[in-house]
Amino acid sequence: MGSKVVLDTNVFVSALGWKGASRTIFYKCIEGNLKLFLSMEIFHEIKRVLNYPKLKFSQIEIDEFLDQILEVGCLIENAVKIGIIKDDPSDNKFLECAVTVGADYIISRDIHILKIKEFEGIKIVSPELFVRES
């Protein structure tokens, strides 16, 4: 089994909508090379964001992708509460999930998360950096 990862919502959206590093990472999760973890809070955010009209995903694409996420990912309940991201407190859910499972990486494009760089031994990187280094 590979590294334990927590993916930000923006990585899931990119994985569905575009070719590139985010899709590569999601495929590594499907293939079992990475172990994907997410909380119900993260899953609900993914579901909400994928339905944004500007993204133009069909309901079938969304439903199939959500099913795939649930099939591949380990859904967990966050065991800790963290409040270090003050600019966007809702982003703390990614840290909470990662700390709960002892993740190796949080992969994100969100500046509020990326600027932390590392938290309790968990590396925080962009999808592109992760793909380059792995």
Q: Where are the domains of the chain?
A: 4-133
4-133 — its CATH code? Answer: 3.40.50.1010
- pLDDT value at residue 134: 86
Question: Using CA atoms, how far apart are residues 52 and 56, in angstroms rounded to an integer?
Answer: 7
Question: Using CA atoms, how far apart are residues 36 and 10, in angstroms rounded to an integer?
Answer: 15
11: nearest Cα among 44, 50, 40: 50
- pLDDT value at residue 1: 62
Number of helices (H), then strands (E), in the chain? 7, 6
Low-confidence ranges of the chain (pLDDT < 50): none
- Phi and psi at residue 128, to the nearest 5°: -65, -45
35 contact partners, CB below 8 Å, separation of at least 6: 1, 2, 3, 4, 5, 29, 74
- pLDDT value at residue 109: 97
Strand order in the sheet with 4-7: 74-76, 35-39, 4-7, 105-107, 122-125, 118-119
